[in-house]
Each structure stands twice: as C-alpha cells, then as structure tokens.
C-alpha cells in the first residue's frame, strides 16, 4: 500500500533559487493529504502532475505566510475547476477569518463543502482517523501558535498463506478475518489458528512533520519511532543563536532530535535563503544521524 | 529616459503551462511601479532579477485572487529583507482589511511605512504625480469593483542644440530653462528664443493597463491615444457569450478597443487556461489591429 510524501516546497520565508515555501502532499493508498500550502503551491501541484481535486484533507501548521499563503488560491482554483467533493481543512484559529475576508471581497461562493477544523496549539489531538490511517497534531514552539502533524498507519493485515488456507478448505469469506488475526472454527469444531495460516504483519509506518519550531523536548514524545521524520533545519549550527531568536532549528539539532526519538530516517527542509548550497546542512546532520537526506522539491519520499 | 513594462504574469485565474497570474512592473527612469500582484509574484521578481525594494508604488486593480494574492507574501518579504523606504499601495477598499487580518495572525509588524490609498471604482482619479510622470486610475466593469491604470509621461524637455548655445555664450545655468521652452534674455537685452535653440520635444509616452473588464464604452475616454495598451483577452470571439457572462473580453474586442481609442500598440494577456496555444488569440486580434503582440512573461516591452 503506497505511503509516500512529495515535497513541493523546502524554502523558509524568503523563497529563492527556485525553492518554494513549505508544502507537501502525502499519498496514502491513493488518498492525498496536503500539509502546509505556501505561496505558489497550486503551480507546484501543476508542475508535478498532482490533481488538486484528489486532495481530501489539508493541514496547516501555523499562520506565517510561507506556510499558508497558497491556500486561498488553491481553494479558489478547486472551485473554478468544478470541485464537488468535501474538503477538510485543519489549521489554527484565525485561518477561517483570513479565508472569509478574502472570499467576501472577491465575492466568491465556493461550490464544494469546505469544512474547517481549528487545531489546538496546546495539546496533541487526533484530527482524522480511518480504518487504515490516523493523523494527529502536536504542539510545536514557534513565535506564533504552531503544530506539527503525525501520520500513523493502522496495524496492517497479516499476509495470508493462501495455499495452506485452500488446502484446508477454509472458505474465502474468512480470509479477511484470518488476516486480522482472528482464528477460524470449522463446522466440525476444528480450530485453525490465524497465526498458523498467516505471516507476521509488516510493521505499520509513520511520518512526522516538524516545521517550524525551536528546539525543545516538549514535542519529542509525539514523534517517537517514526519511519520518516521531516524536520526543519533553517540554519547551520554556527547560527544556533539566530535559530533560537527566530524560534527555528539547526541541522545539527534536527539530527539530534532524530537520534533522541529513534527515527528511522530524517528529511531536512525549510532552508534559509542564506544557503544556496545545502551540502553543509546535510553534512552537519549526517555527522550525527547518518540516515539524513536533504528534501528536494518534486521528489516522492517513501515512508 | 527608460519607460518599459515587464510582464510577470499573463494568465487568468487558473494558472497553467508555466503561466502566472497577473503582475507587471513598469520601469520609468529606474523608478519601479508594480501593477497587480498575483500569487507567486515575488518568485517571478526573483526569476527576472528585479529587486523588490526598488518598487515604490503598487497598484492593485481588484480583489480577485489572481490579481493580488502575491501581495502579502511580497510585503512580508520586503520586511524580512530589511526594507526601510516607504511603499505606497493603491487598491480597492477592503485590501487594507485583508492585509491587516493576515499581519495580525502572523504577528507581523512591518518595519517600513506602508501607505494605503483606496482607489475609487466609480470615477477616474490621479493617484500619483511627479515632475515627469502621472499615474491615474479609471473605472472598469467587472464582477467586483475594478479599475485600470494609466501612466502618462509629463511633457518632455526640448533637446538643446548645445553647439549653438555655446557659440552664443548662453550661460549653462539657463540650458534647463531653454529645454523647457523658456526664452533667454542676455544682459545686453538680446532675446534668444528657446524655439531657435532647441528641437521639438519628443512626444510624451503613455501606457494603459486594462484588466479585467467586460467590453463597454465607459472606459474608452480614459485610454485614448496611448502608445501601448495592455488589454485582457481572456477568450476567443467564439466564446464572446462566455466573456460577457464572466465580465471579460475577447481578443477581437481588445483589438476593436485599440482601434477605437487610437492606441499605437496592443499587448494581449490574461489568457484563459483553456488556451495552451495562444496563436489563435493573436491572429484574431491582428486581423483587426495589426500592431498587436501576445504578452510573454519575462519580456520588457517598450512604451
């Protein structure tokens, strides 16, 4: 089952060098979720061949422009191309007011349901849950209220050994139950144990999005053990005091957080405009956490 | 003296094919003015090497997103890169409220003076006037209040025949007066006529920006005799009824307006996303007004 993240923007607030402000698309089994929506996101979606109408949920971390200014244009274009399906929008209180005033002056009545869910910047919350996926928010510490987001795949089915099940003449209707670990009792009373007929389930996958935040231990409990962590790395460690002043993180700090939370892989982003060459950020992080990559726009990363 | 317009965006509301929403920069003798500021304008400025801090005045035609959504990001970036000089912003009532709510939630106190001047959608007005340039707004007819803008160069100086002035021993301090057409009286009472010592002034140049509008005779008095007219041409004439419904113009109508107002040259733009190939729009307009060009992003057009 596909579980990947496409980075549409990896720049911090002043976009340069054809880097764009923050936005990502998460594809979970062909359902698309967006995280943040900086200016120009709709053009980035077009560039990378993503149909906006496949996006069902949008999560906005905070109300600095480089994380949401593309939202109103994207919502308007969804309207213009005839979207009919509901769109769920999660973000800080105030985002609704920002949208409302712009829809008012442009005299726009969008033709699909836009359902706004305010996020809580003070405590973790489950925002979305289906049979196969859960999305939660958790507090980050930035200059204004800000949350990160965590995507957790539900426990995955146990792969069935079909040849064995067929040989034992177990009705196919029971296969899904066996995959869930439920034993099968035959009409003659024989019990066939699910663990004997299935292999162990592959581990459930998880993704954490951490941008923007100062380094603090507060959010670490919410991002433990993820398969992929996206973490902002606005500065090099030599500018750690600048990072603290602006409530951002350095590449070294991001790597240390990945170590402390036992992440399997780390993806850096939210690069300051002062860095045209990003290699030093990568090297600084890899010295501490080797499984680090620089996020690049237009690339799908496996979770 | 330089007088040119750079097209940063020539797309209508749904940006596609690497076309961007409306924005233009007018360079008048190295003073930069911006007209409209669609989403992504700050990235377009960067792409074409324009320093945003050289822009002194921004004019917004109306509050549809494809004409102003890049403004808040541009204003924020000007703040982040340390702008100190005043910025004059002209646009419809409501633009100030849209900015204020976004600055409030992002907790931004910009460090330069942003001076907002509401435009009048009901009658023409002079918005800016210097010794050498005048900028006016005039009413257009769109779904929401909308104005066009006209840039008029002041009467230009008469080129001085310097060799003649030197031969007659006219003090150099009087040269600027002669260029303005003011005669010189020598200490002995001899009058030297400015017209004898100068050539006729070159014609003053003018530019009109007309987007978005339905075809109507109402604004034609305000755009007479310009050297360059930018006019929206959202549709081909075969979709004239769609143009009327959406309060837009066809390429043929734009050309007819150029004829009726005695424009010297016509530049088309605001192309619908339905046209990947723009040649038919050009051909339709040129059949009526041969001095038509398709505006292309990144090109400076002489006025």
Q: Please judge whether A65 and B144 are an interchain contact, meaning their C-beta atoms are less than 8 angstroms apart.
A: no
State the average pLDDT over residues B17-28.
94
Mutation site, A102, A119, A145, A246, interface B, largest B CB count within 10 A: A102
| pLDDT tens-digit readout, A42-101 | 999 999 999 999 999 999 999 999 999 999 999 999 999 899 999 999 999 999 999 999
Residue A249 pLDDT level (bands cut at 50, 70, 90): very high
Residue A288 pLDDT level (bands cut at 50, 70, 90): very high
Give residue B17's pLDDT.
80
| pLDDT tens-digit readout, A121-143 | 999 999 999 999 999 999 999 99
The answer for A 68-127 residues in CB contact with B (under 8 A) is 69-70, 72-73, 76-77, 80-81, 92, 94-95, 97-98, 101-102, 104-107
| Residue A26 near residue A5, CB atoms below 8 Å | yes
State the average pLDDT over residues B197-225.
95
Q: Please judge whether A94 and B104 are an interchain contact, meaning their C-beta atoms are less than 8 angstroms apart.
A: yes
State the average pLDDT over residues A217-233.
97
Give residue B274's pLDDT.
93
Q: Please judge whether A66 and B72 are an interchain contact, meaning their C-beta atoms are less than 8 angstroms apart.
A: no
Residue A159 pLDDT level (bands cut at 50, 70, 90): very high
| pLDDT tens-digit readout, B270-296 | 999 999 999 999 999 999 999 999 999
The reply, when asked if residue A57 is annotated as ligand binding, is no
CA distance A234 to chain B (A): 15
CA distance B164 to chain A (A): 53
Residue B1 pLDDT level (bands cut at 50, 70, 90): confident
Residue A294 pLDDT level (bands cut at 50, 70, 90): very high
Q: Looking at this predicted complex, what is its ipTM?
A: 0.86
**pLDDT higher than 90, residue B129:** yes
Residue A233 pLDDT level (bands cut at 50, 70, 90): very high
**pLDDT higher than 80, residue B187:** yes
Give residue B13's pLDDT.
79
Residue A17 pLDDT level (bands cut at 50, 70, 90): confident
**pLDDT higher than 80, residue B15:** no
Give residue B75's pLDDT.
96
**pLDDT higher than 80, residue A167:** yes
| pLDDT tens-digit readout, B235-265 | 999 999 999 999 999 999 999 999 999 999 9
Give residue A4's pLDDT.
98
For all residues of chain B together, what is the average pLDDT?
95
Give residue A1's pLDDT.
85
Q: Please judge whether B15 and A107 are an interchain contact, meaning their C-beta atoms are less than 8 angstroms apart.
A: no
B144 vs B142: CA distance, rounded Å: 5
| pLDDT tens-digit readout, B46-66 | 999 999 999 999 999 999 999
Whether chain A has a CB inside 8 Å of the CB on B141: the answer is no
DSSP chain B: --EEEEEEE-B-SS--TT--BSEEEEEETTEEEEEEE-TTHHHHHHHTT--GGGEEEEE----SHHHHTTHHHHHHHHHHTT--S-EEEEE-TTHHHHHHHHHHHTT---SS-EEEEE--SSS-EEEEE-SSEEEEEEEE--SS-EEEEEEEEPPPPPPB-HHHHHHTT--GGGHHHHHTT--EE-TTS-EE-HHHHBPPPPPPPEEEEE-S----GGGGGGGTT-SEEEEE--B-GGGHHHHHHTT--BHHHHHHHHHHTT-S-EEEE-B-TT-S--HHHHHHHHTT-SSEEE--TT-EEE-
Give residue A96's pLDDT.
97
**pLDDT higher than 80, residue A15:** no
CB atoms within 10 A of CB A276: 9
State the average pLDDT over residues A98-106.
96
| Residue A270 near residue A232, CB atoms below 8 Å | yes
Domains of chain B: 3-156+203-302 (3.60.15.10), 162-197 (no CATH)
Least confident of B62-71, B133-142, B163-172, B211-220: B163-172
């Amino acid at each position: 089952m596909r579980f990947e993240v496409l980075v549409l923007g990896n720049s911090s607030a002043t976009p340069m060098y054809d880097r764009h402000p923050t936005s990502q698309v998460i594809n979970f089994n062909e359902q698309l979720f967006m995280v943040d929506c900086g200016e120009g996101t709709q053009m980035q979606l077009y560039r990378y061949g993503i149909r906006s109408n496949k996006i069902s949920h949008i999560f906005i971390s905070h109300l600095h422009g480089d994380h949401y200014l593309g939202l109103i244009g994207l919502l308007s274009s969804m309207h213009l191309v005839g979207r009919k399906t509901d769109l769920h929008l999660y973000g800080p209180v105030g985002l609704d007011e920002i949208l409302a005033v712009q829809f008012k002056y442009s005299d726009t009545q969008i033709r699909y349901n836009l359902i706004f869910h305010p996020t809580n910047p003070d405590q973790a919350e489950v925002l979305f849950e289906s049979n196969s996926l859960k999305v939660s928010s958790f507090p980050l510490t930035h200059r204004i209220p800000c949350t990160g987001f965590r995507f957790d795949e539900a426990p995955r089915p146990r792969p069935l050994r079909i040849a064995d099940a067929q040989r034992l003449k177990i009705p196919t209707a029971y296969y899904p139950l066996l995959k869930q670990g439920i034993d099968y009792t035959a009409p003659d009373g024989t019990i066939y144990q699910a663990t004997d007929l299935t292999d162990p389930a592959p581990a459930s996958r998880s993704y954490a999005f951490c941008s923007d935040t100062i380094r603090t231990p507060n959010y670490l409990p919410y991002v433990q053990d993820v398969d992929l962590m996206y973490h902002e790395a606005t500065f090099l460690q030599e500018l750690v005091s600048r990072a603290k002043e602006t409530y951002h993180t350095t590449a070294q700090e991001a790597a240390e957080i990945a170590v402390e939370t036992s992440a399997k892989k780390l993806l850096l982003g939210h690069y300051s405009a002062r860095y045209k060459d990003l290699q030093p950020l990568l090297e600084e992080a890899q010295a501490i956490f080797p499984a680090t990559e620089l996020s690049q726009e237009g690339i799908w990363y496996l979770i």
